Amino acid sequence: MPDLRRLAAVLAAALLLGSCTSEGDDAPDGNDRAACDTSKGTLIVGVIAPLSGELGEQGKGIANATSLAVDQANESCAVDGYRLVAQPEDDGMNPDLGAQAATKLASTENLAGVVSTLNSSVSARVQPILDSAGILQVSPANTADSLSRGENFRTDPKRRFETYFRTCTVDSLQGPFAANYLVEKLEETRIAIVTDGLKYGEGLADSFTERAEEKGATIVTRQRIDGNATDFTKVIDALKPFEPDAVYFGGQFPQAAPLSEQLAAAGLTGPVMGGDGIYHDAYLSAGGKEGDLATSVGAPTEDLESAQEFASAYEAKGYPEGIGAYGAFAYDAANVIIDSLATTIGDGEWSPSMREDLVATVGEYEGDGATGKVAFDEYGDSTNHVLTVYEVRDGKWVAVETGEYID
23 CB-near residues (< 8 Å, 6+ apart): none
Residue 34: per-residue pLDDT: 59
Residues ≥6 apart with Cβ < 8 Å to 18: 34
pLDDT one digit per residue (tens) for the chain, 407 residues: 444 344 344 334 333 333 333 333 443 343 434 589 999 999 999 999 999 998 999 999 999 999 999 999 999 999 999 999 999 999 999 999 999 999 999 999 999 999 999 999 999 999 999 999 999 999 999 999 999 999 999 999 999 999 999 999 999 999 999 999 999 999 999 999 999 999 999 999 999 999 999 999 999 999 999 878 889 999 999 999 999 999 999 999 999 999 999 999 999 999 999 999 999 999 999 999 999 999 999 999 888 888 999 999 999 999 999 998 899 999 999 999 999 999 999 999 999 999 999 999 999 999 999 999 999 999 999 999 999 999 999 999 999 999 998 77
The Cα–Cα gap between 258 and 222 comes to: 18
* 8: number of Cβ within 10 Å: 12
> Do 138 and 161 form a contact (C-beta atoms < 8 A)?
no
φ/ψ bin of 88: left (φ > 0), alpha (ψ from -120 to 50), beta (otherwise): beta
Measured CA to CA, the distance from residue 174 to residue 250 in angstroms comes to 11
Cα distance between residue 271 and residue 236, in whole Å:
14
Q: How confident is the model at residue 30, as a pLDDT? A: 39
Domains (ranges, CATH) in the chain?
A: 4-169+301-376 (3.40.50.2300), 172-297+387-404 (3.40.50.2300)
pLDDT at res. 11? 37
Query: Which residue type sits at 30?
Result: G
Give the residue from 64, 98, 77 showing the smallest Cα distance to 15.
Answer: 77
Predicted pLDDT of residue 303: 85
Rounded to 10 degrees, what is the CA torsion of 141, 144, 148, 149? 160
Confidence at residue 229, expressed as pLDDT on a 0 to 100 scale? 86
At 385, give phi and psi (nearest 5°): -110, 25
Report field, pTM of the whole predicted structure over 0.75: yes
Predicted pLDDT at 188 = 97
What pLDDT was estimated at residue 21? 34
